[in-house]
Amino acid sequence: MSFNNKTIWLNYSHLYYFMTVAVEGSIAGAARKLTIGEPALSIQLKQFEEKIDVKLFERSHKKLTLTENGKSALAYAREIFKLGNEMLETLYDKPSSERPHLQIGALDTIPKHLTARLVETAFKHQRCTVSIFEGKGDELIRELTQHRIDILVTNKNNLGNSLQVYTRKIARLPLLIVGSEKFKHLRKNFPKSISGHSFILPTEESQVRFEIEHYCNLHGLTPDFVAETQDVMVQKLLAIKGIGMIAVPGFAVREYLRKKELFIIGKMEEVYEEIFLTTASRKIANPVATYLMKNFSLTE
């Protein structure tokens, strides 16, 4: 294959050596696993980096740390050799013994119930293992495009202009204002009744924060914004303790409503939280992620 007018042929033995060194974390550990000498393995690794003309490791005091390119190469190497094993199993008519590994990213503004529903659907579809990572939007979209996660759950549709990224809306959920029992009297004359009373907001990174502020401005409401937190679970715990009201989709507080730990104060008319699934284009698609992108949806 040609890159920058230079023909590069990938040596799969070298790629396997690289993957083993990366996983083991050292030349010594990889050499023991591969049952070859350390000097020979070190030479092979150096030749691989020189051949592809990419620095894969930072070397410091005999310690090897993957570069960003090295992390991407490791992700691809794992997929390549996994696919090779699947090919052999197919050719020899042997059922696959390895479960697909689904790596899910979720914005820290996404309710945990939603992520749990996604995992439950994945398990029902196919026997697999799952890893879940939470974080900020920019951080997770970078992980997605570099194939360190397979699928991203987000409440933002504007994740950049990358042609590599595909997004599908899976839910449009009405927002409720809920609070502890001491706020129940605010049901009368809602929504004007919430003015002057304590309210807990998501942080400014959240689309829901924008929707709440827009709703308040539209209706001339002036609640007392006493706290803000990105974590929806913390919002709910503070609301249960009577610190303030919160705005959430009904499914996220259904259990707390049933237990009478929280109460619906009112519904925010024409205000919704939209939830999206996002995946990135890749040569070797994760079958579980592909299924979820096509079929998963969320309803109240």
For the chain, counts of helices (H) and of strands (E): 10, 12
Residues 6+ apart with CB under 8 A from 51: 8, 11, 14
pTM across the whole model: 0.66
The pLDDT assigned to 26 comes to: 87
130-147 average pLDDT score: 86
Question: Over 70: is that where the pLDDT of 124 sits?
Answer: yes
The pLDDT assigned to 298 comes to: 80
The pLDDT assigned to 267 comes to: 95
Q: 280 near 164, Cβ under 8 Å?
A: yes
The average confidence (pLDDT) of the chain is: 87
Question: Over 60: is that where the pLDDT of 177 sits?
Answer: yes
CA-based radius of gyration for the chain: 25
- As beta bridge partners, residue 279 has 166
The pLDDT assigned to 158 comes to: 66
Rounded percentage of the chain residues whose pLDDT exceeds 70: 91
For the chain, list the domains and their CATH numbers. Answer: 2-91 (1.10.10.10), 101-171+276-295 (3.40.190.10), 173-271 (3.40.190.290)
